[in-house]
Chains A and B, each alone.
Chain A
Amino acid sequence: GAGVSQSPSNKVTEKGKDVELRCDPISGHTALYWYRQSLGQGLEFLIYFQGNSAPDKSGLPSDRFSAERTGGSVSTLTIQRTQQEDSAVYLCASSSNPMFAQPQHFGDGTRLSIL
């Protein structure tokens, strides 16, 4: 079956612009996660959605970052007034179980470059 799908695969934009990144989780997966991966670094947790519960936003680095998940499926991560330090690969993952202690399946990410 289809895995986690992210779009766009690459995004180049100017500093100060807003960007939207999209994630389509695996069908039936109730949990959805966003991570940020800077060059040569590990994965930094950003936000977690589980069903209709309030999302865990504890990893968002600033109020310029926000995310939503419509209908319990597709999610959009929005970065407003982008800065050069926002350049990174943004990864989305989904899981069939709401607990973190279950396998997470990743998409191939969106590579974001801020000029």
Chain B
Amino acid sequence: GENVEQHPSTLSVQEGDSAVIKCTYSDSASNYFPWYKQELGKGPQLIIDIRSNVGEKKDQRIAVTLNKTAKHFSLHITETQPEDSAVYFCAASTNDKLIFGTGTRLQVFP
């Protein structure tokens, strides 16, 4: 079945710097890749998603890139702010199951 690996597990950056989180997936049939942000005591919130027919998508300070050949996708956050501190999860779906990565704890220091 599908397996999603996510790196790094923790990431600390200075406010204003960029943060990059990377995920790889195993099932070449995967066609939908959402990213979720989870704050303490809250459920995951969808922040951006990308489909397999698109290589890159951007929404203000957040962007996601997809390399179908290499089966990896990445989340890029520019101009990080303290409120970006949270756990971020990637996921991959094949119209059957949504499989999540193990999460990245991002800390943005002022």
A residues with CB within 8 A of B: 4, 33, 40-43, 45, 91, 93, 99-109
Contact of A43 with B89 at beta-carbon distance under 8 Å, contacts A101-B95, A103-B49 already known: yes
Whether A41 touches B102, Cβ cut-off 8 Å, given contacts A101-B95, A103-B46, is yes
Q: A42-B100, A100-B96, A100-B97 are in contact. Are A108 and B49 (CB under 8 A)?
A: no
Q: Is the CB of B43 within 8 A of A104?
A: no
A106 CA / B47 CA spacing, docked (Å): 12
CA distance A105 to B34 in the complex (A): 11
- The contact string, 1 if C-beta is below 8 Å from chain A, for chain B 92-110, is 0111111111110000000
B10-52 CB mask vs A (1 if < 8 Å, else 0) is 0000000000000000000001101010000111111001010
Number of A-B contacts (CB under 8 A): 52
14 extra interface residue pairs, beta carbon distance < 8 Å, beyond A100-B94, A101-B93: A33-B98, A40-B103, A42-B6, A43-B100, A93-B43, A100-B93, A100-B95, A101-B31, A101-B94, A102-B32, A103-B34, A103-B46, A103-B49, A108-B41
Whether the Cβ atoms of B93 and A4 lie closer than 8 Å is no
Residues of chain B contacted by A102 (CB below 8 angstroms)? 32
Chain B residue nearest to A101 in the complex (CB): B32
User: B69-104 CB contact bits vs A (8 Å, 1 = yes)?
Assistant: 000000000000000000001010111111111110
Instruction: List the A side residues contacting B101 at CB < 8 Å.
Output: 42
Which residues from B are CB-within-8-Å of A99? Answer: 95
B42-68 interface code vs A (CB 8 A; 1 in, 0 out): 111110010100000000000000000
